[in-house]
Structure 1
Amino acid sequence: MTVSRASVDGTCTAAFDPVRDLFAAKLEAGDEAGASLCVMSGGEVVVDLWGGVADVESGRSWERDTLANTYSLTKTMTALAVLVLIDRGLVDPDAPVGRYWPEFAAGGKGGVLVRHLLGHTSGLSGWDEKVSIDDVYDQEAAAALLAAQEPWWTPGDGSGYHAITFGTLLGELVRRVTGTTLGEFFAAEIARPLGADYRIGVVDEDPVRFASMIAPTSTFDYASLPADSLLLRTLLNPAFPPSITTDAGFLAAELGAANGQGNARSVALVQSIVSGGGVAGARRFLSAETVDRIFEVQSDGVDRVLGVPVRFGLGWGLPGPAMPGVPEGRVCWWTGFGGSVVVSDVDRDLTVAYVMNKMSAKLVGAPNPNEYLAAVYNCLS
C-alpha cells in the first residue's frame, strides 16, 4: 500500500503496518529529522519508507533518492567487496596480508592475516603519527603509514575497533589485488550490477541529493582520557565532525570505513546479497560457502576501543548484547555513528536497513535502530 501518513512517503505491505506507524510516530515526535527505512524479504521490498527533512536549516525534504553519509555502515560494503575477492580465489582470508601487499609485513606484521583486518584484530586501529583529515583522504599515503608501524596489541588477540583504518587497510588490499580503487571496484562489481544507489567516493553529483547530518549532543569528556588511550588514539586521530560530510573533499574521498553515501533502499539492496546466501537481483555474487565464512567468529569480548562486548565475524558484527534488536542465528550486522544500521538475516532471507541524519551520541546500540528492528521482527512472529 502507498503511505501518505504524517510526513512519511513510500510503500509498506500490510503485514508491516506497525513498522510504518513507528516510523511516522518518530518523525512526528522529533525523534527523527529525516530518515529512510527499508525491509527486504525473500529478495522483495516489503517496506520502503522515507520522510522528514534532509536539511534542517533550509527545510529541504528528504526525498526518495536522498542520500546520507552512513558512517561505519560503510564497512559492510567494504567487507562485501573483499568477500567477492575471496569468493573468486584472489584473496585467502587465512593468508598473511603481506602476500598481497609486501610492504605491510614491516614492523613485525608478517603474521597479520587478512581475517585480522576484517575482524578488527590486527592491532592497527589507528595511526602512530598525528594525521589530519586530508592525510586520510590520501589512501595510498595513509596506507603506507599503517604498513610501516607496529601493531598496538598482539594480532588476533581480541578486537580493537578499526574505526577509520578498516577502510584504509582493506581499501589498499583491494587496490593491490585488483589494480583499481575500492570505490571503483565496489561500483563496477556490486553497486552497478544491482542498480544500487550507494557510492564510496562521490564526484560530479548535485549537492541537493545529500542530507546534512545533525551532530549529536554528547556529555563524554574525551579530555579526561589518558593520552595513550586506545579510544582517543583511534577515534580522534583524526576527528571527523559531522559538519564536513557534505563537503566536496569528504564526498570524493574513498573512505571504506566511514563515508559511504546511500539510503535505506540502496543499503538493503546491496546487503541482501548476504541475506540471500550470495544471490541478489537474480545474480549470484557469492557462493553459499563464502557467505558462511562471515559467521566464523574472529573475536568475542569487550572491544578495546568501543568498551562494550562485541562479537565480530569476518567483516560484520554477529548477534550479541551490544545491539539487542539483532536476533540470534545466522545474522550479521553493523551500524554507523549516529545510528544507521543494516541487518542481514540469512536464516530468514531478511534484510533491514535504516539511514538517517539526526545522530545519536551512542557509537553502538542507538535506540532508534533497535526499536525499528524489534518492530520488524515482531511483524514476523
Structure 2
Amino acid sequence: MVRSINNPGRSIEISGFCSPAFAAVKDAFYKNFTARGEVGASVSVTVRGETVVDLWGGNTDAAQKEPWQKDTICCVQSVSKEITALAFHMAVDRGLIDVDELVTTYWPEFGQAGKEKTKVRWLLDHRCGIPIVAGATPGMAYDWTRMTEGLAATAPLWEPGTTPCYHSANYGFIIGEVLQRVTNRSVGEFLRKEIAEPLGIDCVIGLRDEEDARVATFLDKEDHISQAWIDEGTNIFAKSWKIFWDDEDFNSREWRRAEIPSVNAHTNARALARICGVLACGGAIDGVRLLSAAAVERAAEVQWTGKDVQDRLLSLSLGFLMPTENFPSTGPRTIGMMGAGGATAFADPDLHLGFGYSMNAMDPAQSGRQRPQALVAALNSCLGR
C-alpha cells in the first residue's frame, strides 16, 4: 500500500483561478493542505455554466515532490457511480431503456435465481439485492465478462425492490451491462465519446497507456475506515470487495486499465464541475446538451431515504445521492455522489451550480469527509447560506 509521508513543513502552491466572490473556497482549499492532511487535490465550481473556481495544488506522489498539474487526473472512487448513472440516463433519454421495464428485457441472462422480476429502477437505486457476487474470487473485478456472468447467476440476498443496500463494488457492472447491451458500447467507450469529448473534459473509465503519466498516485488506503471494514472480513462490504486483489491499492496496472464503473473513474475537479453543471442547468452546458430537462428531473426522483442494511444513512434517487447530513451540499435538491476518502461532486439545480473535488490521499478521519465539508462550508458562506 502506498502511504504519503508526513511533511508538515512543505511549501504549498495553489494554482488556477478563483473569482474574488469565492475567495473563501480558496482559503479552505489551502487550509486542507496545511491543517487537514491533503497531499494533492483540485476543486472547481461552475455557476450557470461559468467557471468561478478552478484550483489545484499539492503533489501527485507519496514523497510529495511531483507537483499537481492543471491536467492531473486521479481516481475518484464512488463518484464514478455518478458518472456512470449519467451515461445510463442518457440512454434512457434516447428511448433505449425504460426504468420501469424488467432488467431481462435488456439482459435476458439476468433473469435467474430469483431475479426474474427485477426492475431497472432497482438497479439504479441500490435495491436489486446483489451487493455480493456469487463465487467471488480475487481478481474477478478486472474481467467484465466474469463479473457480469457471475452477477447474472447470483441469487439476491433479499427480494429485489424491498431492501436498500449500497452496492459498493457491483453497481457499475450491473447498470453498465444494461448500458452496453443497448448502446453496443462499453461504459468507458460511451463516457469518452458521448460525455468527455463533447464537454472537452478529462474523464475516463479504463485508462490508456498514454494517460498514465498524468495520473496521481492514490495514497493512504490502509489508513481509511474502508480498510478496517475489509479486514473485518464478514460484513457485506468486505464480501463485496473480494473481487479485487487482496493488495489492491488503486494504483495497479489492472486497476487502471479495467473498466470498473463503480469505483475507478479517473478525472479531476474541473471535469466533475462541468458534468455537474450539466445536471444543474437542465441537461446542457455551453450549448452542449447531454440530457433533456425532463430526464434530469426523472433522475433526481428520490426512491428511498434512511439507513440501509449496512447502517449507512443515505438518500437515493435513480443513481444519485440526495442531501442528508452525511452528504455536504449547497441546497435541498442537490444531486451527486461522494467517494471513499473524500472525492465529491454534486449539482444544485436551484443555484445552477456544479461542484467538484478530487484528491489522491484518502482522508483518515472516521467520516472521511472533513476536507470536502470544509470546502462546501466555505462555498455556502460565499453564497450567503
Q: The TM-score by the shorter chain falls in which range? A: over 0.9
Q: 1:56, CA displacement in angstroms?
A: 2.3
Hey, what does 1:316 align to over in structure 2? 320
- Alignment partner of 1:377: what SS? helix
Q: Which of 280, 304, 307 in structure 1 is aligned with 2:309?
A: 304
Q: Which residue of 2 aligns with 1:82?
A: 88
Distance of aligned partners of 1:223 and 1:104 in 2 relative to their CA distance in 1, 3 Å threshold: closer
Please list the CA deviations of residues 191-212 of structure 1 after superposition, one character each: whole Å capped at 9, or x if unmatched: 1111111001111224331111
Q: Corresponding residue for 1:53? A: 59
Q: Answer whether contact 1:335 1:364 (CA < 8 A) is retained.
A: no
Which residue number corresponds to residue 124 of structure 1? Answer: 130
What does residue 39 of structure 2 align with? Answer: 33
1:380 matched to which residue of 2?
383
Q: What is the distance in 1 between the residues matched to 2:365 and 2:243?
A: 19
Q: Quick check: 1:147 aligned with 2:149?
A: no
- CA distance change for structure 1 residues 363 and 77 in 2, over 3 Å: closer, same or farther? farther
**Equivalent of 1:335 in 331, 335, 338:** 338
Q: Where does 1:110-189 land on structure 2 (aligned, <5 Å)?
A: 110-133=116-139, 135-189=140-194
CA distance in 2, matches of 1:183, 1:364: 30
Task: Give 1:63's aligned residue.
Answer: 69
Contact 1:333 1:343 in 2 (8 A): yes
| Secondary structure at the counterpart of residue 318 of structure 1 | coil
Q: For the residues of structure 2 that align with 1:335 and 1:364, how far apart are their CA atoms?
A: 12
Aligned residue in 2 for 1:275: 280
C-alpha contact (below 8 Å) 1:143/1:172 kept by paired residues: yes
Deviates more, 1:214-223 or 1:190-199: 214-223
Q: Pick from 4, 13, 21: which aligns with 1:15?
A: 21
Give the conservation status (yes or no) of the 8 Å contact 1:231–1:304: no
Distance 1:350 1:278 in 2: 12
TM-score (norm 1): 0.92
The answer to whether the Cα contact below 8 Å between 1:213 and 1:357 also exists between their aligned partners in 2 is yes
1:199-251 Cα deviation digits (max 9, x unpaired): 01111224331111111414775488573x323322444367563x3332211
Q: Name the aligned partner's letter for residue 119 of structure 2.
A: L
The answer to whether the aligner puts 1:346 opposite 2:349 as a matched pair is yes
Q: In the alignment, residue 342 of structure 2 is paired with which amino acid?
A: G
Unaligned ranges ≥5, structure 1? none
Tell me by how many angstroms 1:270 deviates.
1.9
Encode CA deviations 1:20-44: one digit per residue, 9 max, x unaligned. 0111122233521010000001101
354-363 or 340-349: bigger deviation: 354-363
Aligned equivalent of 2:115:
109
Tell me which of 185, 197, 212 is aligned to 1:207: 212
Distance 1:372 1:203 in 2: 32
Contact 1:308 1:322 in 2 (8 A): no
Change beyond 3 A, Cα 1:152–1:362: farther
* 8 A Cα contact 2:45 2:356, kept in partner: yes
Q: TM-score, normalised by structure 2?
A: 0.91
Q: Percent identity?
A: 34
Counterpart of 2:8 in structure 1 is none
Would you say 1:197 and 2:223 are equivalent positions? no
Counterparts in 2 of 1:313 and 1:240: CA distance versus 1, 3 Å:
farther
- Which residue identity is paired with 2:338? T
- Equivalent residue letter for 1:334: M
| SS, match of residue 50 in structure 1 | strand
The root-mean-square deviation of aligned C-alpha atoms, in Å, is 2.0
> Matched residues in 1 for 2:18 and 2:287: separation?
23
Distance 1:232 1:58 in 2: 31
Query: What are structure 2's unaligned runs of at least 5 residues?
Result: 1-10
Give distance in 2, aligned partners of 1:240 and 1:348: 43
Deviates more, 1:333-342 or 1:50-59: 50-59
| 1:328-378 deviation digits (Å, cap 9, x = unpaired) | 422112111110000111111001110001102468661111111111111
* Distance of aligned partners of 1:127 and 1:343 in 2 relative to their CA distance in 1, 3 Å threshold: same
Q: Is the 8 A contact 2:276 2:353 kept in 1?
A: no
